[in-house]
Amino acid sequence: MTNLGERTLLIVDDDAPLRNRLARAMEQRGFDVSMAESVAEGVATSAAAPPAYAVVDLRLDDGSGLEVVSALRRSRADMRIVMLTGYGNIATAVVAIKAGAVDFLAKPADADQITAALLETDRPLPPPPDDPMSADRVRWEHILRVFEQCDRNVSETARRLKMHRRTLQRILNKHAPRN
């Protein structure tokens, strides 16, 4: 398990104002913060001095934050990593957790939420979200995930979801449900 006395934190995000604001807020919470703005810089920083904690953005200018998560996990197995994204959906959350993140937070996440996710070790699951997705939104996300996995082939997606092709087409032509 991560040494609770060690509070080194790496923040990897290509949004400079957000990265700097988050770094200041986490320093106020007792973390020794280093920052990176790209996959390459995040991987290099993790190899040079693996931190105890990391906050990684999913989409970076030069690639996916999942590459950074994998490199971080290789450099230090006990590191606690939180994935941040402005493009949250169930499929990417699952991939992030499988890659080694302990939690997946949608932007805008505040420093208190991030700190809680990094330091929470007593519960096997994070606390429930304040504003969870509706059942309609979860259904929509699932349909889109299968659609993408089928290379956007409507007939194949309909077959796998066991629904009529025209029904699927109508669903896909509508806008996503709110929350």
The owner of tokens 């449900």 is 177
Of 142, 103, 97, nearest to 120 by C-alpha is 103
Q: What is the pLDDT of residue 124?
A: 58
Exposed / middle / buried, residue 80 (Cβ in 10 Å: 0-12, 13-18, 19+): buried
Q: What is the pLDDT of residue 3?
A: 47
What is the domain partition of the chain in residue ranges?
8-119, 135-173
Q: What is the pLDDT of residue 123?
A: 60
Q: What is the pLDDT of residue 134?
A: 77
pLDDT less than 50: residues of the chain: 1-3
Are the C-beta atoms of residues 55 and 9 closer than 8 Å to each other?
yes
What is the average pLDDT score of the chain?
84
Are the C-beta atoms of residues 54 and 12 closer than 8 Å to each other?
yes
Which residue type does 163 have?
M
Domain 8-119, CATH: 3.40.50.2300
Q: What is the pLDDT of residue 27?
A: 93
Q: What is the pLDDT of residue 162?
A: 94
Fold of 135-173: Arc Repressor Mutant, subunit A (1.10.10)
DSSP E strand boundaries for the chain: 8-12, 32-36, 53-57, 59-60, 63-64, 80-85, 103-106
Are the C-beta atoms of residues 169 and 154 closer than 8 Å to each other?
yes
Of 133, 91, 87, 145, nearest to 172 by C-alpha is 145
pTM over 0.85: no
Q: What is the pLDDT of residue 87?
A: 66
Q: What is the pLDDT of residue 160?
A: 93
